Amino acid sequence: ALKAYAEAARADLMKAVEDAASQLPHTQKIIFILRDLQHLSPAEVAEILETTEDKIKSNLYHARIAIGKYLKQHYQTQTMLEL
C-alpha cells in the first residue's frame, strides 16, 4: 500500500511539474526540459540553443522559481481541498 501511495504521489508531482512547465515562456521551458528533465549540462544546452551558458543558467533560475511558485500554490490548494 505504501509503494502504491509513493507511486501515486510521484505521478502527481510529475503531472504538476509538467503543468507548471507548460506555463513557462518558451525559452525557459526548453531550457528547463533539457537541463532538469533530460539532464544535459549547461554547455550542452548552450550549444543546442546557440547561446551562452550564462543565459542558460539565468533562464533556468527563473524557470525553477516559477515552477516552485506553481508547485507551492498547487499543493497548498490541494491540501486545502483535502481538509
Are the beta carbons of 66 and 23 closer than 8 angstroms?
A: yes
**What cell was used for 78?**
490541494
Query: Does pLDDT of 40 surpass 70?
Result: yes
What pLDDT is attached to residue 24?
A: 98
Cα distance between residue 42 and residue 54, in whole Å: 9
Nearest CA to 74 among 32, 29, 18, 34? 18
Q: How confident is the model at residue 80 (pLDDT cuts 50, 70, 90)?
A: low
| Cα–Cα separations (whole angstroms), residue 81 to 1, 6, 75 | 23, 20, 10
Q: How confident is the model at residue 83 (pLDDT cuts 50, 70, 90)?
A: low
Cα distance between residue 43 and residue 55, in whole Å: 11
